[in-house]
Every structure is written in C-alpha cells, then in structure tokens.
Chain A
Amino acid sequence: MISSFVRDQWYVAAYADEIGTDLFARTVCGEPLVFFRAEDGTAVALADRCVHRRFPLSQSRRDGDTIVCGYHGFTYDTSGSCVFVPGQKRIPRTARVASYPLVEQDSFVWVWIGSRDLADPDLIPRAPWLADPAYTTVRGMEPLAARYGLLVDNLLDLSHETYLHGGYIGTPEVAETPITTEVDDEKGVIYVSRRMADAACPPFYAESTGIKGRITRWQDIEYRPPCLYLLHSRIAPAGVLPNDDGTDPDAFHVEVVYAITPETEHSTHDFWAVARDFALEDAKVSGFLHDSNRAVVLQDVAALNILEKVIAAEADGYQELSINIDTGGLAARRILARMAASPVKEPA
C-alpha cells in the first residue's frame, strides 16, 4: 500500500506540557517516536526503536541525557547517536536512531517526520491565542480510529453540526447563512466564511458576554493543510464590525483550534483547544466550553470510527455524491493530494 502521509510537513505531536523528564511515546505518520525533555529543558524526539533488536526506547530508562535501552543496554544521546554498546568497545557506525526536528510553539510540540533538510520552522502555521495571556484556553486530545482525511472532511463542513451535534452548537440560522469558500492555491490555505449579520444570541453567549439582543455572528474556518485547523468565531452586537485597522474591541472571540495528526494509516490524534478573550477567570465558562467542545469531538469520533470501518472494507474508487456543503472539503482533499504527490520545495 502506498502511504498517504504527507511526510514533509510539520505536525503537532503533543502539547508542550505532555513532554517532561519521563520518556513519552507517540506515533506520528506511522513513525513511533520517543520524546523527553533534556536536563537543559530542550525537548527531544527520537525514533522509538532500539537499532539493535527494536525494543521500544520509551519502555526503557533515562540516565542523565541518555536513554539506556531496557533490553541490552544500547545507550543513545539526545542526537540519537549510540554512545555505549554492551560487551564491546567499538560502537558500530550504524548504531544510531533517527532524531527528528522539533519546535515548541503556541503550546504545541511540532515535529517534522520527512527529510530533515526541508524542515523550515518558518513553515509552521500559527495559533497564537493558545499561549496568549489575553485568552483563556481549554483543550484536550482524543484518539480517533479513523484516517485523518475523514476528520478533515468533517471539520471543513460545519453544516453537519445541525444533525450530529444538534444539542450543542447547531442553530437555525446556520442553515440559512451564505457560505463563501476561498482557496489560495499558492499558499495552500482554505478559508470558509459563514457570516450571520443578524442572528439570535445563544443563551451561553448572552450569559458569558453580557450581550443583550441580536448578534452578528461569524464562523470562519481557516485550514492550513495538513495539520492545523482554525475556527475563528466572532460574536458582536448586531451591526458591529471590526475597525478598518483590524482591531475589534467590541466583539468577543472564540478561537477553536484543531491539530489533525495522522498516527497510522487508519488512526489520528485529534488535538482540540478552545481559546476565548472574555470571561477569562470564569470557571463556569471554562467548564462549559471544555465539556461542550469535548462532547462534540467525541460525537465526531464515534461517527468517524464507524465510517472508517465502512470505508476500510470497501474497494478503492467507491462512489460518493458531493453537494454544495462539500465545496471546502473537496478543496482540502485536492491540496492534500497535491502535497502528498510533491514534497515542499528545497530551501533556496
């Protein structure tokens, strides 16, 4: 089977605070990785298989800034070089495990699985709200037993919320709102705008923001394939728009961030976070946003787990029907297919 992974891209492997002194295992794009924080605080990602007999290094132990394999004692430094081999003085030249470029940014640990020399940190898409003191964030990660493309499809079409998530985030205006899908072919960005000029204010927002009466409600999806998905949600009193300079002091913002990271061909790490710039200290608001978003994620996970089983059992080339709500999802699939077919350009 040809891999569908887009390897030469940055992926979120973990939240930064998941990585500590203990050895931590996570598989990204089919590659088992072991993470730990060296004594100077630097996070490290190595291949999680001893070069000798494939024992998982994550099931081994640390000795200072080295990992000592729990089977025969092969010992690796933070670069993956073997520095000790049991029973002999000579260390074979091939005794090393791969190390992976790693960047900590916006509360995430990003890793690059593909060719090292293409790993340009400037290519990492941003989600600055997650580490911004002007925002309060709730978050989680759910394992998904489905290929990552199914989650991309799911998130690019929000109209399913009326059916799958009716009790949580669907409102009647959503189905009657014009949708514009934009694709920047050069930058590889997909933007889906749903802007309700005059909508009812859901009780949660009325209570947590203090807005009385009707609202202008924007729900804009920004997808930066393959890994980062942003849902910019903006709520303001009806008719209030951002200033020309981009500032927006009279609106309330909820930034929903997903990091969609393939684990294997048939499973995905579904990172989700919800950042808001109002009611920052309100534990009840945090609790509601955490519980409701997690409930929505789990509903998606349950549905996509079923769908994965169906699709995995079917022959390739099954027939689908696409309708107008699929416009963004189709664009995402095309960009992902193009990324899989052609790696990023060599740095100049």
Chain B
Amino acid sequence: MSRVAVLSGDRVYRVHWRLGTDRLVGVCHCGAEHEAEDPVELWEWLLAHPEGHHATAPAPARDLAGTR
C-alpha cells in the first residue's frame, strides 16, 4: 500500500506505522529514513536533521526505455 502524504509543505516530517509490526518508519523532509520502535527515539532522530540524515540523491528514474 502506498504511503499516505496529506501535508505538502517543504518541512514535513512523516512517521509511518509498519502494519503488522511494532515498527515505526520516520521519513525526513530531506528523504532520509530511519526505523525504530520508540517514537521518542524516532522524533529525536527526525528533529536532529541534518545530523545522521545521509540525504540520498533522488532515486534514478527506472522507467527508461527498455528497462521495463
């Protein structure tokens, strides 16, 4: 199932609950992701941006001719 994203600002942090588990996935506005069980730990990680957020470059487009 695709991830819900309702807010559209430039500085939106998101936390998704991984269904069927006790895990939370934090997604920073820079694109970095981190998984944790403890929401306190996860917020600390998110709000520490950019520390520890190895912002990844946008994933290369995969729908180039011949790749699908």
Contacts and interface: CB of A to CB of B under 8 A. Distances in A.
A245 B6 CA distance: 14
Nearest to B47: A334
B63 interface: no
Interface in A304-348: 322-324, 326-327, 330-331, 334
A201 B13 CA distance: 32
Contacts of A195: 4
A182 B12 contact: yes
B16 interface: yes
Contacts of B39: 322-324, 326-327, 330
Interface string A59-75: 00000000000000000
Contact of A184 (B12, B15, B22, B43): B12
Given A180-B17, A183-B12, A183-B13, A327 B5 contact: no
B62 interface: no
B13 A330 contact: no
Contacts of B30: none
A185 B15 contact: no
Contacts of B37: 324
A187 B24 CA distance: 24
B5 A178 contact: no
Nearest to B1: A178
A181 interface: yes
Contacts of B18: 178
A331 to B, nearest CB: 7
Interface string B19-63: 100101000000000000111101100010000000000000000
A17 interface: no
Interface residues of B, number: 26
Contacts of A179: 16-17
Nearest to B22: A324
Contacts of A331: 13, 43
A191 interface: yes
A327 B15 CA distance: 8
Contact of A330 (B4, B22, B43): B43
A324 B14 contact: no
B68 interface: no
Given A181-B15, A182-B12, A182-B14, A193 B40 contact: no
Contacts of B38: 322-323
B39 to A, nearest CB: 4
Given A184-B11, A327-B24, A178 B16 contact: yes
A187 B43 CA distance: 18
Interface string A165-183: 0000000000010111111
Given A180-B4, A191-B6, A191-B7, A185 B42 contact: no
A180 B15 CA distance: 6
A189 B22 CA distance: 25
B9 to A, nearest CB: 4
B9 A334 contact: no
A213 to B, nearest CB: 21
B17 A182 contact: no
B13 A186 contact: no
Interface of A: 176, 178-187, 189, 191, 193, 195, 197, 220, 322-324, 326-327, 330-331, 334
Interface of B: 1, 3-7, 9-19, 22, 24, 37-40, 42-43, 47
Cβ-closest 7 pairs across A and B: A180-B4, A184-B9, A327-B39, A181-B15, A185-B11, A178-B19, A193-B4
24 contacts: A178-B1, A180-B4, A180-B16, A181-B15, A182-B13, A182-B15, A183-B14, A184-B11, A185-B9, A185-B12, A185-B13, A186-B10, A189-B9, A191-B6, A193-B6, A197-B1, A322-B38, A324-B37, A327-B15, A327-B42, A330-B40, A330-B43, A334-B43, A334-B47
